[in-house]
Amino acid sequence: MGLWYYETYRGRVKLGLKVRRSLFTKQSDYQLVEVIETEAYGKTLAIDGIYMTSERDEHYYHEMLVHPALTTVANPERVLIIGGGDGGTAREVLRHDAVKKVQLVEIDQVVVDACRAHLPDHFSWDDPRFELIIADGIQFLADAAPDSYDVVLLDGSDPVGPAQGLFNRSFYEHVKRALKPTGAFALQSEGPILMPDLFLDIVHTVRDLFAQAHPYFGPVPIYGAGIWSWTVASETLDARTPDPDRVARFARACKYYNCDIHRAAFAVPNDLARALVEN
């Protein structure tokens, strides 16, 4: 049968991938970082036993995290990414011609090193607009000057371990302060079927702080959670209706995202719409 790698979620759900070989394993100061080559998804990054991204399905996640926010802000010149050490989010941000500066703040150099070595197609790390900062994203954002960024993207793993502090009201308050009034904030907001409490808590907290905050949905096959969610927020902008002309400038290079996907992703299933009102 060969070797299998299993992710187990809270002792209730197990997702296994058949493995061809192990490419990288290292315990960093923060977490266990692994890259495995799988038959279904190709090279796959796992952190503390949880699948993060893979060669064959990463575009679903990265394109949907980035483009709804970037196409909503009129002139997204300065973008901050918290997390995202695999580089896929930065790659999608840099598809936008208006972007002049992208700062990626990743706490763990080991994640970056593993992905640069084994997932090189995720991102070209030498783009002159890009700056990698190895630091604690929570502290970095707390120290950021007000109105510093047009877009902030939270590309964090599940709210455990070093990512736990990225999913709470204090962190979102720092995001709001660092954003320009015409800016936008987007983050992954977990799988609403498998993780309903986390999903509802994230969306409600973001809605408490921003005038506009809308969850949206799509597939990320490797997560095995049915559907995945992201949330985009702004004080002044509604991200639900994209500008077709702006999307046309970059979307041909995307594998998943386009105008129709953007609009459809904001359709909220009835049970989730009721839960967002009732809880």
DSSP 43: E
> Does an H or E element contain 110, and which?
helix 109-118
> Does an H or E element contain 111, and which?
helix 109-118
Distance of CA 78 to the CA centre of its chain: 17
- Phi-psi category of residue 239: left, alpha or beta, with phi > 0 → left and psi -120 to 50 → alpha: alpha
Q: From residue 130, give the alpha-carbon distance in Å to each of 91, 153, 194.
A: 10, 14, 35
What is the structure's pLDDT at 164? 56
Q: What domains are defined for the chain?
A: 3-54 (2.30.140.10), 58-278 (3.40.50.150)
Q: What is the pLDDT along the chain (279 residues), one digit of tens a residue?
A: 479 999 998 888 999 999 999 999 999 999 999 999 999 999 999 999 999 999 999 999 999 999 999 999 999 999 999 999 999 999 999 999 999 999 999 999 999 999 999 999 888 889 999 999 999 999 999 999 999 999 999 998 665 555 455 668 999 999 999 999 999 999 999 999 999 999 999 999 999 999 999 999 999 999 988 899 999 999 999 999 999 999 999 999 999 999 999 999 999 999 999 999 987
Q: Which residue type sits at 130? A: F
What is the structure's pLDDT at 123? 85
What residues have CB less than 8 Å from 114, skipping those under 6 apart?
24, 26, 33, 34, 35, 45
The catalytic residue among 150, 155, 158, 201 is 155
Whether residue 155 lies in the annotated active site:
yes
What is the structure's pLDDT at 58? 97
Check if the beta carbon of residue 35 is closer than 8 Å to that of residue 23. yes
